[in-house]
Amino acid sequence: MTNVLLTGGHAGTTALAVIEEIQSDDHTKDWKIFWIGAQKAVEGKKSLTLESQVLPKLGVTTYSIIMGRLQRKFTRYTIPSLIKIPFGFIHAFYLLKKIRPQVILSFGGFAAYPVVVVGSFLKIPVVIHDQTAAAGRANMYSARFASKIAISRVSSEQFFPKEKTVLTGNPVMKSIRDIHPRLQISDPPVLFVAGGSRGSQTVNTLIKNVLSELTRSFIVIHQTGSLDYRDFVELRNTLSEESQKHYELHETIDPLEMSLFWRKADIFVGRSGANTVSEVIAAKRPALFIPLPFAYNDEQTKNAEYAKIIGLATIIPEKNLDKETFLQALSLVHKEWSRIVKHVYKKQSPDMHAATNVVNLLKTFVS
């Protein structure tokens, strides 16, 4: 039996795509997959990470790790979080000795760093995968401990040691890769709004201000995240009966069901995390991206720019975001929808074989 350990702080659908590939490959079906990650999505909150909820459904043995992390803002959770950092390395040592993996695959994030460091000292081969068009902070810190670094975009090469780096693409689940692009927009068009698995209060505030206008012309599917969900339930109740029929509200979306939402969508609105951008490109859906302005290395802007080069993205910097700017940009995307999708219709996603590439890389470290 081959034990393979996956770890990460925000792997999401990338990890699912790799797990899916491992379980479908005849040469790796006997691999036993383990996961080490965070249990809570937000420090001090009760909401669980999607990985801790979804991966056990796939037969993955999961462990939550005691760890701390650096926070952008000082809160009452900052000092307790910092105090937990050394305990993360001790806990990682305990878990690695228990699991005894032949190889570690890290998707980055604060939860993965102690696993990578301790794994390296235990002489376990470590493969890092970076999803972004730039580079994640934890992955840059982890690079010295890695045997190989898999990157999703050529633009990431500058951040990592060249001799360790290999371009694989960003793994996307098969159910999303299999979505056929459409050449005709729905009537009424379907707007899919999401701010990532935990939601975005900036995106949610925007939607709150334009929801009555949107539901006159679009069907709006809105994933809010846990913090704002109750507010939007109340807001929906204030809409007209017709507008309520045009507004589909979700707190979270099970990643295993994400393809259903992409199949419905005509236009995407939201943040430009690496996995979201990869899915937009795979599904060939025009997108209005509002990059997170303080993402490390401005990675969300770079992700969005990558999709813009392909021909799918319109970018609205958060500093320029207001009701009028958004509605004008959305109107233009709606007007140009047919031209956009015809332009990308025959283009293959650069991530089409990424899951296979990553699993093949893992195979080189498994005897």
Partners of 114 in beta bridges: none
| Best CA proximity match to 341, nearest among 281, 284, 267, 289 | 284
What are the residue boundaries of the structural domains of the chain, listed by start?
Answer: 2-171+351-363, 176-344
The CATH number that domain 176-344 falls under is: 3.40.50.2000
The CATH number that domain 2-171+351-363 falls under is: 3.40.50.2000
pTM here? 0.91
pLDDT at residue number 355:
97
CA distances from 267 to 156, 192, 194, 204, 219 (A): 28, 6, 11, 17, 11
* Tens digits of residue pLDDT in 87-127: 889 999 999 999 999 999 999 988 899 999 999 999 999 99
| Strand spans (E) along the chain | 2-8, 31-37, 61-64, 103-106, 126-130, 148-151, 165-167, 190-194, 219-223, 247-250, 267-270, 287-289, 313-315
What's 350's DSSP letter?
A: T
* Tens digits of residue pLDDT in 221-277: 999 998 899 999 999 999 999 999 999 999 999 999 999 999 999 999 999 999 999
Interatomic CA distance for residues 284 and 177, integer angstroms = 10
Interatomic CA distance for residues 22 and 20, integer angstroms = 6
Structure tokens at 20: 């899916």
Interatomic CA distance for residues 45 and 196, integer angstroms = 17
Q: Do domains 2-171+351-363 and 176-344 have the same CATH topology?
A: yes
pLDDT at residue number 196:
73
